[in-house]
Amino acid sequence: MTLPLQVEHLTAGYVRGHPVLTDITFDLPDGELLAVIGPNGAGKSTLLRCLLGWIHPDTGVVRLRGCELRALSHRQRALEIAYVPQFPPRTVGFSAGDVVLVGRYARMGWLGLPGPQDIRIALAAMEMTETADLFERPFDALSGGEMQRVAIARALAQQPGVMLLDEPTSHLDLRHQLRIGAMLQRVAHEWPMAIVWVLHDLNLAARFADRILVLHRGRGVALGTPADVLTPTLIEQVYGVETEVLTTGDGRLHVVVRQLGCTASQVQEGTKTSRPPGLTNS
């Protein structure tokens, strides 16, 4: 079976000649949760936009189940890729169930009337995200964490093979971050689905991701399991922060900050001369 997502030598940006992403290559198999981390402006959101087909690559190729992304129609893409943005929609009057059912758009008939099948799938998606009891509640009255779980259920109701999330947890409290992380891990492994999760929290990525892709200045500087990727050297190279990476008794990695390392400009110079270990693109 072809991989859900293949990215080969992707170079892309908003203005031709000024790429935001340079030569990114990775594969994503079914049932894998890939965390994408990197400093602000590293190109994480741009990568997601490329994977959604909103930005066409300057060079390189994004393949969805073996088909080149730009050859697919809106509908075909929507059948295979779902997207959860950073902030839940601000919409008044829809119930949470209505919001989830909107995810069935590409699979409903031309009149857009959800059948019993659509409602069953929406409910199953909401059960997966532990929001089934919110089905009738007005969406705008939910808490931030509930909204984001409903938004993920909406993406699941699309029945995609790939789910892309752009920092869905960054404005949530600790408990909700952990809850959503655990949920994404479960969805990836049980559905099974390929998930690309853009986030800032290294510990969250270490805890739940199967693999981590580190972006820095538009390049993929590391790709591998959390234990391979999250090393003090790499973190200092990319973020300019001195850290210790501890392994606790249960085998979990924890990144602990010691102090701010060299200044940002030094970091930038550093990356020009030497490249961090774990390099995947040469």
Q: Cis ω on the peptide bond leading into residue 114 (within 30° of 0)? A: no
A 10 A CB-CB count for 276 gives: 19
Stretch touching another protein by CB under 8 A, among 34-42, 69-77, 176-184, 260-268: 69-77
54 binds another protein (CB under 8 A): yes
Radius of gyration for the alpha carbons in the chain, expressed in angstroms and rounded: 19
Backbone φ, ψ for residue 36 (5° rounding): -110, 120
In whole angstroms, how close is the CB of 236 to another protein at the nearest point? 34
In whole angstroms, how close is the CB of 79 to another protein at the nearest point? 7
Query: d(Cα 207, Cα 82) in Å, to the nearest integer?
Result: 23
Judged by beta carbon, residue 159 or residue 237, the one nearer another protein is 159
102 binds another protein (CB under 8 A): yes
Judged by beta carbon, residue 73 or residue 266, the one nearer another protein is 73
Site string for another protein, 114-153 (x = CB under 8 A): x-x--x---x-----------xx---xx------------
- 190's CB contacts (< 8 A; 6+ apart) are none
Out of 75, 227, 264, 266, the only residue in the binding site for another protein (CB under 8 A) is 75
Stretch touching another protein by CB under 8 A, among 109-117, 182-190, 255-263, 272-280: 109-117
191 binds another protein (CB under 8 A): no
Per the structure block, which two tokens stand in for 7? 């990215």
Query: d(Cα 40, Cα 228) in Å, to the nearest integer?
Result: 22
Q: 241: part of which helix (H) or strand (E)?
A: strand 241-247
- 74's CB contacts (< 8 A; 6+ apart) are none
Judged by beta carbon, residue 40 or residue 110, the one nearer another protein is 110
Per the structure block, which two tokens stand in for 182? 């655990």
By the criterion CB under 8 A, which residues form the site for another protein? 52, 54, 73-75, 77-79, 81-83, 85, 89, 91-95, 97-99, 101-103, 105-106, 108, 110-114, 116, 119, 123, 135-136, 140-141, 154, 158
